[in-house]
Amino acid sequence: MSTEQSIRLASGRRIGHGEPCFLVAEIGNNHQGELAMAREMVQAAAAAGADAVKFQKRDMNALFTQAGLTAPYGGKHSFGATYGEHRLALELPLEAMAELKALSESLGLVFFASAWDLVSARDMLELGMELFKVCSADVVNIPLLRLVGETGVPVVMSTGMSQWNDIDVAVAEMRRYHERIVLLHCNSSYPCPDELVGLPVMHALSRRYGLPVGYSGHEAGLGPSVAAAVLGACVVERHFTLDRAQRGTDHQASLDPAGFAAMRAMIREAEAAMMLTEKQVCPAELASAAKLRKSIVYARDLPAGHVLTPADVTLKCPGNGISPVQWDEVLGMRLTRGVSCEELVDWNALAPCAAAPSDPVPGPVKRCRKQAAGNRS
């Protein structure tokens, strides 16, 4: 089992425990097969604060049977009369991927992709990606896992659609080559209802495999993704779009630039809120305490020699005098001088009463309180 808490990418970026949550804008095929839109999306992801952009790559003949390619595909989200035509319309050529990689890296982003077949995997790895995404559909794809594992490239693996035995096999296969693996908890529903997100499964993944764990979210909102970061996700991946109303099945489960930026801000705020781990009183709280807490003050004018009773004192702001915590210590004390109403009680004006010979320790206070009780009667 791995003891490594984080993985280091070729660019020097680290992903894992103790690092800021690594935020991935999954562009996928939401570029609609248009290179110009893909460029715009990379730039928008960088502006929204993403750490990485992720694409998808498919080779039609390597991925689908002829029957699958020629199957009729209609509906409002279709880009072609057959499923092959639909998928091909959403693909970018390898040359475009190389251009997008260069653009991404010039903007400080990590560029990587999920390749859905062996041909695409070889092609994308040859581009020099510093990270490879194994999509949920390929957790059970042993040949692809071996191909990627042999390269030694760090792997992010989504675990949607998978039973524990599926993940067991995939992790064991990848560990034959290296341990630079990040597992992403995922529910591959588009969009995923909040009640089926299952964020506690992240902890189960961490316990079972001892690897860094993150979250790939397909919910419509932001709450689960932010909560995942609070619960320790080292990666949060969300599908990314320029317009959630665009044609295509992924857009409704994607975040637009404003939504991604809002998620990033919330996650960074949450990370800051998790930095302090021990209970302490901060300097700003000390000023608030002095202003808002109460002090023991005299409830009326009193002469020297008076023994204090509950009727003689009260509590009022500010809190720069004797604290109410010491209420019982003040009662039964004798005044060494006259005091005024609402004056702060001061230890310098108090003295214990004289003890009677028969009084046990602490006799002075006990004797004074007996005297004070007599005063009240």
Last residue of a domain, one of 212, 239, 273: 273
Q: 374 pLDDT band (50/70/90 cuts)?
A: low
Last residue of a domain, one of 225, 245, 273: 273
CA dihedral 130, 135, 136, 139 (to 10 degrees): -70
Confidence tier at 249 by pLDDT (50, 70, 90):
confident
Residue 148's CATH number: 3.20.20.70
Q: In terms of residues, how long is the chain? A: 377
Q: Are 302 and 319 in contact (CB under 8 A)?
A: no
What is the pLDDT confidence band of residue 364, given thresholds at 50, 70 and 90?
very low
Quickly state the pLDDT bin for 252 (edges 50, 70, 90): confident
272 contacts 21 by C-beta, under 8 angstroms: no
Span 320-341, average pLDDT: 97
Instruction: Give the total number of structural domains in the chain.
Output: 2
Percent of the chain with pLDDT over 70: 93
Rounded to 10°, the helix 142-151/118-126 angle is: 10
In terms of residue numbers, what domain contains 307?
283-376
Mean pLDDT of 222-248: 93
More reliable by pLDDT, 174 or 356: 174
Position with higher pLDDT, 163 vs 90: 163
Peptide bond into 318 cis (omega under 30): yes
- Looking at the fold, whether 259 and 321 belong to one and the same domain comes out as no
Considering the domain architecture, whether residues 45 and 181 belong to the same structural domain is answered as: yes
pLDDT tier, 76 (very low <50, low <70, confident <90, very high otherwise)? confident
| 170 contacts 157 by C-beta, under 8 angstroms | yes
239 Ramachandran zone, left/alpha/beta (phi>0; psi -120 to 50):
beta
On the question of pLDDT at 165 being above 70, the answer is yes
**Mean pLDDT, residues 271-295 taken together:** 92
pLDDT confidence bin for 372, thresholds 50/70/90: low
pLDDT score at 101: 98
Please identify, among 273, 294, 309, the residue that sits at the C-terminal boundary of a domain. 273
How many Cβ atoms from other residues are within 10 Å of residue 356's Cβ?
12
Whether residues 151 and 196 share a domain: the answer is yes
- CA 8, chain centre distance (Å): 20
Are 294 and 353 in a shared domain? yes
Question: 1 lies in a domain?
Answer: no
In this prediction, residues 229-243 reach a mean pLDDT of 96
Gap between the Cα atoms of 221 and 299, Å rounded: 56
Whether the predicted pLDDT of 1 surpasses 90: no
Question: Is-cis flag, bond preceding 303, omega within 30?
Answer: no
Does 356 score more than 50 pLDDT? no
pLDDT score of 371? 54
CATH of residue 369 = 3.90.1210.10
Give per-residue pLDDT as tens, 88-113.
888 999 999 999 999 999 999 999 99
Q: How far is CA 144 from CA 26, 151, 167, 242, in A?
A: 21, 11, 14, 31
What is the per-residue pLDDT for 359? 46
